[in-house]
Amino acid sequence: MKFALFIIFAALLAQTSLSFAFENIELKSEFKELSFIKNGKNPSDLSGVTWSPETRSYFLILNKLGLVYETDENFSLKRTITITGIGDSEEIVFLGMQESEGHNYPEVAISEESGLISILTITEKNFYDTAKDAHQFTINVDNENWGNKGIEGLAYDKVNKVFYAAKEIKPMAIFKFQRPVDSSIKKVKPTLLFSDIQLKKHISDISGLFFNQETKRLMILSHESYCLLDMQEDGKLVSKYNLSTYISKKLFSSLKSQFEGVSIGKDGDLVLTSEPYHYQQFDLSGSSLNY
């Protein structure tokens, strides 16, 4: 009897600790529209977001069109960048600064649902052709006929030069692989980090991925489960953040929106982007995501 009561108490304590973690993310900006996407002529949705601290700018990518928007730190549009040779684009990730023609420019990786990754340096030009401007390689996974259930998230560890790629669903998976050392490499063989069985304990799909350089942990965004996971590489769940605390599922549904992108941005804030053209910002100073 005492043992049973101890188990119940331990379970309640775990739930209380998790709920406390929910409260420690502070909403900094309400659910906002990006008018340059909403009022634009491009029939596609916002898919991914990344922050370039050296240039104090965000890069946002649209799904399928190969269009990238650079904004300032307040999400005001600076320019529109066209990238040809991109198919079903899902994520854009800042890799660091790269020297080109005597100047330092942001280097990014763009992932497609098929598993194709394009690495390119974004200079002052507004037009790029991946065939000549990018290093392209494919994530080589057995039975990779994924259709519309392929790579949905991409993250990067700048210190160790390691990529993480997330397969959306059926089955879910998170892979890990070293960045290719030169542009002659066209295929990489990743290792499986988290399996569908491991991930199903917490979420039912993956819509975004980010490697937190400060905590050395992965942030995993789920649209269907309406939450954000903070996970160690050994599979230990540090926190699970319920996003319905900040925006109701009913409102989200009425806007035909869904979570698609996650990044750490200006001042260490958490940034979530959503289809078709929305974003939110959160203060992480009191949460597990900040240490």
How is the chain split into domains, by residue range?
Answer: 2-290
Question: pLDDT of 19-31, one tens digit each?
Answer: 334 446 888 887 8
Local structure of residue 274 (DSSP, 8 states): E
CA 205 – CA 208 distance, rounded (Å): 10
| pLDDT grade for 88, boundaries at 50, 70 and 90 | confident
| pLDDT grade for 122, boundaries at 50, 70 and 90 | very high
How would you classify the pairing of strands 135-139 and 187-188?
parallel
Handedness of CA 90, 91, 92, 96 (dihedral sign): negative
Amino acid making up residue 257? S
Average pLDDT over residues 227-241: 95
CA distances from 161 to 29, 85, 91, 102 (A): 32, 25, 17, 23
What pLDDT was estimated at residue 143? 52
- Give the least confident one: 39-53, 118-132, 133-147, 168-182: 133-147
Specify the CATH architecture of the domain 2-290: 6 Propeller (2.120)
pTM for the full model? 0.89
Strand, helix or coil for residue 87: coil
